[in-house]
Amino acid sequence: MGTKKSGALLRQASKLIPGGVNSPVRAFKAVGSNPIFIKKALGSKIIDADDNSYIDYVGSWGPMIVGHANPKVSNALKKAIDRGTSYGAPTESEIELARMVVDAIPSMEMVRFVSSGTEATMSAIRLARAHTGRDRILKFEGCYHGHADSLLVKAGSGAATLGTPSSPGVPKSLAKETYNAIYNDLNSVEKIFKKDPKGISCIIVEGIPGNMGVVPPAKGFMKGLKGICKKYGALLVVDEVMSGFRLCYGGAHQTYDIQPDLICLGKVIGGGLPVGAFGGSRAIMSQLSPTGPVYQAGTLSGNPIAMTAGIETLKILGKKGQYEKLFKKTGKLASGIEEIAKRRSVECHVVVRGSMFTLFFTPEPPQNFDEVCKGDLKKFAKYFRRMLSHGIYIAPSAFEASFMSLAHTNEDITKTLEAIDKSFTRL
């Protein structure tokens, strides 16, 4: 499987774009390889510059839940483009998508659209700070919420310490407004709140972590977070940018029977176009400008093209039986991997939630970021390169989720399992 054209494109891109990519994980550095450049996609397949075809389980990192270039989505987009691509003014499509999102998520009475997941989480935190009158936030190691300064921090010497910047350019003074706790450990959260009972505005947590791989919340963890927030007067912000509409028609938090104060969305609700959103109760959301004092704005927020893609995607997902199809396919692939791993004596675990899954090369399914980091990264890199050579495209990092789509077929799953069987040989 030659990648000569991709190699040439990488050399050109590297002269103009840092690392030749516009998002670091695309560089394939973690798997000891060079990126492939994609020229088109259809259904469950992507095709690179060298005309190699791959079964795609990245799905543009989650949003392509109905498949690439879905005819209904594409046809609606073509009509929308003919009406103009951007107005910088309100449109009826914003109302339609907002109504669909609010109807799907009962705890979200109002929603504000933005252009990315980072914008959504950044804005939700600003709103939480304004609503509570407090400056500090609490996040978890292994949960990624975009690259806003307040969130791009790593833990200090212990779970109850304030954060330090994990990237140059993040002011230490701002990073010190962010606490880090251990995911799936309520004691670490309680310890931080006891230390600073009136200083924390919110807890922010992913609905299902996907940027350390799929690591589900332990039983009672999410309800415990809600209880701690209520006890200390903080807000619970659930980041559903990745998990929204992936576990059900709505947010993953609904499967835990909790009501967050603010919810962040993205990916699926934009059908592959740049979209983010955040929302919550009418009382909190009414504090946003222009009805309230909390400023947030964006020239392309609610872009009519992105709204169209989101509307058509949710229409497809809202049809009866769609999630059952997704989950059946995901389960079939996961059980097949486990059977092959047992037969090939490969130590690994497949963790599945809804239509998201991760293959961990760990002794046990990980419960937090430290346990994820104990996985065999060299083995994963070798596995990734072998899978790519067999025409299967998975995330080029051991710390990412994979995604099933409605476009994946039983034949795709069979071919994927055949590739895994070959890739597990002498792994």
Q: Tell me the catalytic residues.
A: 144, 239, 267
Distance from C-alpha of 162 to C-alpha of 293, rounded to nearest angstrom:
29
Alpha helices (H) along 179-321 = 186-195, 221-232, 282-285, 304-317
Longest dimension (CA), the chain: 62
Distance from C-alpha of 321 to C-alpha of 329, rounded to nearest angstrom:
13
Concatenated DSSP letters for 248-263? SSS-GGGGGT---SEE
Asked if 215 and 401 count as a contact pair (C-beta separation under 8 A), the reply is no
Asked if 113 and 301 count as a contact pair (C-beta separation under 8 A), the reply is yes
Could you tell me where the beta strands, DSSP code E, fall in 82-155?
A: 110-114, 136-140, 153-154
Q: Is 210 exposed, middle or buried (0-12, 13-18, 19+ CB in 10 A)?
A: buried
CA distances 226 to 79, 141, 197, 236, Å, are: 44, 18, 15, 6
Q: Given the DSSP bridges, would you call strands 349-353 and 356-360 parallel, antiparallel or unpaired?
A: antiparallel
Amino acid at 352: V
Q: Which residues touch 97 (CB under 8 Å, ≥6 apart)? A: 113, 269, 307, 310, 311, 314
Grouping H, G, I as helix, E, B as strand and the rest as coil, residue 118 is helix
Question: For 30, phi and psi rounded to 5 degrees?
Answer: -70, -15
Grouping H, G, I as helix, E, B as strand and the rest as coil, residue 332 is helix
Residue 328 CA, chain-centre distance (Å), reads: 21
Closest to 117 in 3D by CA, of 264, 295, 321, 332: 264
Q: Given the DSSP bridges, would you call strands 276-280 and 262-266 parallel, antiparallel or unpaired?
A: antiparallel
Distance from C-alpha of 355 to C-alpha of 405, rounded to nearest angstrom:
8
CA atoms within 13 A on the CB side of 21: 15
